[in-house]
């Protein structure tokens, strides 16, 4: 079993659901690397990369074995740079499953290709994805709901950690 898990995402912003998953993963692995995607082509983020990383580091402080890094490019390359690591993703509901399954399968295939191309060897080493079910109390929580609710000033106390709420108030996103 790999000792390192990479938990990738956009984290725009980190939610209580993300935090729950990070804490549970930290109980399963020696090291959890939270990987923050630098920029997703399809989204214009609410928070800059720097802010997303700062907020994550703040909420992860005190959770043993957890570090936060940003990454650019292919997830499998980032995971490979961490040695023998697996990817973890949360599943909130059935709707997540189709996309997550496809992503896991694509990443597994991509990891085979990148390994043999980069190494010049025939060694096949596949990167696996493990799914953790979201705690039901967070199954309705997502960053996109947070961003949408923020536009309408819906209270976000049950959606994001306190420090994120504080930053949102400081930036005038919510009041
Ligand atoms: O929090 P998100 O936006 O659901 O996370 C999506 C993420 C960052 C895991 C995914 O977009 C990703 O891995 N992007 C990096 C590019 C990549 O490797 N794409 C292939 C996987 S389909």
Confidence of residue 114 (pLDDT cuts 50, 70, 90): low
Residue 103 CA to ligand 1 center (angstroms) comes to 8
Q: Please check whether residue 4 is in contact with residue 31, taking contact to mean a CB–CB distance below 8 angstroms.
A: yes
So what's the pLDDT on residue 95? Answer: 87
Check if 35 has its Cβ closer than 6 Å to any atom of ligand 1: no
The answer to whether residue 155 scores a pLDDT higher than 70 is yes
Check if 103 has its Cβ closer than 6 Å to any atom of ligand 1: yes
Q: Which two tokens stand for residue 73?
A: 């490019």
End-to-end CA distance of the chain: 46
Residue 44, phi then psi, degrees to nearest 5: -100, 110
Of 132 and 2, the one with more pLDDT = 132
The catalytic residues are 18, 42, 92, 143
pTM of the model: 0.93
Check if 9 has its Cβ closer than 6 Å to any atom of ligand 1: yes
């Amino acid at each position: 079993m790999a000792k390192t898990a990479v938990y990738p995402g956009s984290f725009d912003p980190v939610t209580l659901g993300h935090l729950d998953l990070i804490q549970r993963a930290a109980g399963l692995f020696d090291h959890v690397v939270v990987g923050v995607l630098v920029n997703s082509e399809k989204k214009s983020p609410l928070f800059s990369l720097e802010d997303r990383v700062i907020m994550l580091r703040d909420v992860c402080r005190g959770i043993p074995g957890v570090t936060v890094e940003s990454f650019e490019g292919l997830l499998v390359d980032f995971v490979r740079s961490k040695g023998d690591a697996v990817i973890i993703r949360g599943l909130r509901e059935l709707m997540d499953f189709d996309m997550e399954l496809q992503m896991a399968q694509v990443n597994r295939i991509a990891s085979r290709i990148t390994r043999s191309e980069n190494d010049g060897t025939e060694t096949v080493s596949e990167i696996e994805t493990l799914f953790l079910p979201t705690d039901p109390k967070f199954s309705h929580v997502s960053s996109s709901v947070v961003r949408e609710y923020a536009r309408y000033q819906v209270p976000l106390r049950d959606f994001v950690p306190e420090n994120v709420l504080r930053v949102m108030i400081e930036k005038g996103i919510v009041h």
